[in-house]
Amino acid sequence: MRDKKVEELIEQGKFYFLNKQYNEALSEFQKALKLDPRNARILYNLGVIYESKEDIEIAKTLYLKALELDPKLEEAQKHLDKLVGTSEEE
């Protein structure tokens, strides 16, 4: 029952994300995270949304947390590498 609710929230979040309604997308994913706090994919998705909104530091933290929970989550590693690369140039 709870899993189904989480899936629904994630789907809704993705829909908002694809329509560039980032704040709405965030709120859906945050609700999903509350129900399933150790879900690396939710953390990763939140990271992508924050990155889209140019909140780079928060995005980095979220990718790191996602990787802590699931070290094999390639997407998170890819995004993190890109962000770390840019800030090292500073």
Partner 1 sequence: MARQFAVIGLGRFGSSVARTLIDQGHEVLAIDENEEKVAEMGDLAAQAVQLDATDEKALRAVGIEDVDVAIVAIGGDIQASILITLLLKEIGVKEVVAKALNARHGRILQKIGADKVIFPEREMGERLAQILVTPSVLEQIELAPGHSIMEIVAPKAFVGKTVRDLDIRAKYGANMITIKKKVPHLTKTGETDFVETVNIAPKAEDRIEKGDHLVVIGKDEHLAKLKKLSSKEG
| Residues at the interface with partner 1 (CB under 8 A) | 13-14, 17-18, 20, 22, 25, 41, 44-45, 48-49, 51-54, 75, 86, 89-90
Cα–Cα nearest to 16, from 59, 53, 58? 53
Report, in Å, the least distance between residue 37 CB and partner 1.
18
- Residue (11 or 68) nearer to partner 1, CB: 11
Q: Are 43 and 66 in contact (CB under 8 A)?
A: yes
Report, in Å, the least distance between residue 17 CB and partner 1.
5
Query: Which residue is listed with tokens 């090292």?
Result: 88
Supply the Cα-derived Rg of the chain in whole angstroms.
13
